[in-house]
Amino acid sequence: MNYWMVKSEPESYSWDDFVAKKEDVWDGVRNYQARNFLREMQLGDLVFFYHSGKEKAIVGIAEVSQEQFPDPTDEAWTAVKLKVKSPLAKSIPLTAIKAEDGLSDLPMLKQSRLSVLPVAKDEFDLLLKMST
């Protein structure tokens, strides 16, 4: 199993919007590296849902429910389908993520502009612990 993080501005598409749909296509990604990460996602992989913009916090967990397929908004790109797994007991703000030594290599801290990023198993486990 692999672990991931997707980022969205809550003003455009929030965790609550996602929960209301229960499952949705993750499309509109227009960065080659982020697209390649979408292509690596496998059925059942777990995905942190991060609110970018003003909030800057991980708020929930999704699961890959359909592997890569052509993005319906532009078939030259890639999309996946995600389904809601669970909200976090408490969100994890970016300030807490940056303050945690065990997360210093987290890709989101090094490539903050990417909307789809990998998360190592130990980082995923540490973030889960921080959310309780």
Q: What is the pTM of this model?
A: 0.96
Pairing mode, strands 3-8 and 46-51: parallel
Query: Whole-angstrom Cα distance, residue 8 to residue 48?
Result: 11
Query: Whole-angstrom Cα distance, residue 51 to residue 8?
Result: 5
Query: Whole-angstrom Cα distance, residue 43 to residue 38?
Result: 11
| Confidence band, pLDDT 50/70/90 cuts, at residue 1 | very high
Query: Whole-angstrom Cα distance, residue 118 to residue 5?
Result: 6
Both structure tokens of 112: 């903050």
Q: What is the mean pLDDT of the chain?
A: 97
Helix (H, G, I), strand (E, B) or coil at 112: coil
Q: pLDDT tens, 47-99?
A: 999 999 999 999 999 999 999 999 999 999 999 999 999 999 999 999 999 99
Q: Which residues are CB-neighbours of 46 under 8 A, at least 6 positions away?
A: 1, 3, 4, 61, 62, 63, 64, 85, 124
